[in-house]
Structure 1
Amino acid sequence: MNTEVIDQVSADKNEYLSKLNKIVQETIEEEGLIIHNLLHPPEEVLSKGQKISDKVAQFGGSWKFIILFVVVLVLWIIYNITAIASERFDPYPFILMNLVLSCVAALQAPIIMMSQNRQEEKDRMRSENDYLINLKAEIGIRSLHQKMDLLLSEQIKTLYDIQAKQFAMLQEISQKLEEINKE
């Protein structure tokens, strides 16, 4: 009877390990697509216009541009105030300067907006990657829960089987003791 018990426990353990392997395989398959998407994001192909808009937005939003622009405006104003009347190209009220500033603003705003739209697209891709990472973590947690549930159910089943076998052995011992006592 002891070999039967050992064989049964061994068979139960093999069945448990096969269920555990199945859970692991399913988890690996579910995570495969997520890992592939994280490791191989779509490559960003930039046109010349997009590259230029990124560079203009980067320069136009920097302190270097602001300082340079203020210096140019101050020099413009100082020159047109202090120069002799025949050499002034934009006398007070600086109409040409206002036209240049309006043109710069009119051209710079849509270029910066294009760059911001591309940045928004990059942010959307990052949020998709964050979602995929969270999904991968959720799949891992779900897999752990399945493994724990399987482990607990197998342990309870094993304990119940052992208890039943022990009870059967106790009954056999009890019968043998009764037989010995009758003799």
Structure 2
Amino acid sequence: MSDTKPNHSAAEAARRFTLRHGKPVILPRTYGEYLADRIAAIVGSWRFIIGQSLILALWIVLNVVAWVQHWDPYPFILLNLVLSFQAAFTAPILMMAQNRQSDIDRQKAQLDYDVNLRAELDIEALHQKIDLLRQEDITRLVGLLELLTRERIEKDDGAPTGTRS
């Protein structure tokens, strides 16, 4: 399974290493990819959802109850702005993390395909070897059968007529 033209990309090198050694290679992340993965891990956690829900509830309570000065009175325009700002930045960051995960999954799928293809080729080669051995056995057995038949015929021809069985 050698390629006719070499591919010098890091992903191709990782794929070839994995095929040779059976160990996946984790490609290094850029700082942006690292940051996107960290933010996605934080935003996608129950801790973040509960924390954000508590902050939103506190914001609303503090602005509805007259205990303190209302910095964002109903209909909470500032809260809407903050949440829109968060959504505007969180969505693309999550998409970057998903794209990276998609690339990793695609690489793993390609490795699985390559391993399965190699296994299939190895099995096909084993089938051919078994077929060759079987054909050699059949040829040898046919030769032995012909030899035994000739010996039997010679033995029968050399024996007196009444003793043939």
Which band: TM-score by shorter chain?
A: 0.7 to 0.9
2:149 paired with 1:173: no
Please report how far the alpha carbon of residue 117 of structure 1 lies from its aligned counterpart in structure 2 after TM superposition: 0.1
In the alignment, residue 158 of structure 2 is paired with which amino acid?
K
Q: How does 1:125-144 map to 2 (within 5 A)?
A: 125-144=107-126
Query: Separation in 1 of the partners of 2:87 and 2:26?
Result: 32
Bigger CA radius of gyration: 1
Please report how far the alpha carbon of residue 63 of structure 1 lies from its aligned counterpart in structure 2 after TM superposition: 1.3
Which residue pairs with 1:35 in the alignment?
19
Query: Separation in 1 of the partners of 2:149 and 2:141?
Result: 12
In the alignment, residue 35 of structure 1 is paired with which amino acid?
L
TM-score, normalised relative to structure 2: 0.79
Which residue pairs with 1:97 in the alignment?
79
State percent identity of aligned pairs: 40
2:95 paired with 1:113: yes
Q: Deviations over 1:91-130 (max 9, x none)?
A: 1111110000000000000000000000100110111121
2:135 paired with 1:153: yes
Structure 1 unaligned regions, length at least 5? 1-28
Aligned residue pairs total 148
Alpha carbons 2:36, 2:96 under 8 Å: kept: yes
Alpha carbons 2:36, 2:93 under 8 Å: kept: yes
Structure 2 unaligned regions, length at least 5? 3-15
Q: Deviations over 1:128-168 (max 9, x none)?
A: 12102211221232123112211221121011100111122
Which residue pairs with 2:61 in the alignment?
78
Which residue pairs with 2:41 in the alignment?
58
Q: Deviations over 1:50-91 (max 9, x none)?
A: 111001111111111111111000000101111356x22111
Please report how far the alpha carbon of residue 174 of structure 1 lies from its aligned counterpart in structure 2 after TM superposition: 2.8
Which residue pairs with 1:45 in the alignment?
28
In the alignment, residue 163 of structure 1 is paired with which amino acid?
L
Which residue pairs with 2:9 in the alignment?
none
RMSD of aligned C-alpha atoms? 2.4
More helix by share: 1
Query: Separation in 1 of the partners of 2:31 and 2:127?
Result: 51
* Higher RCO (CA 8 Å, separation ≥ 6 residues): 1
Q: Secondary structure at the match of 1:88?
A: coil
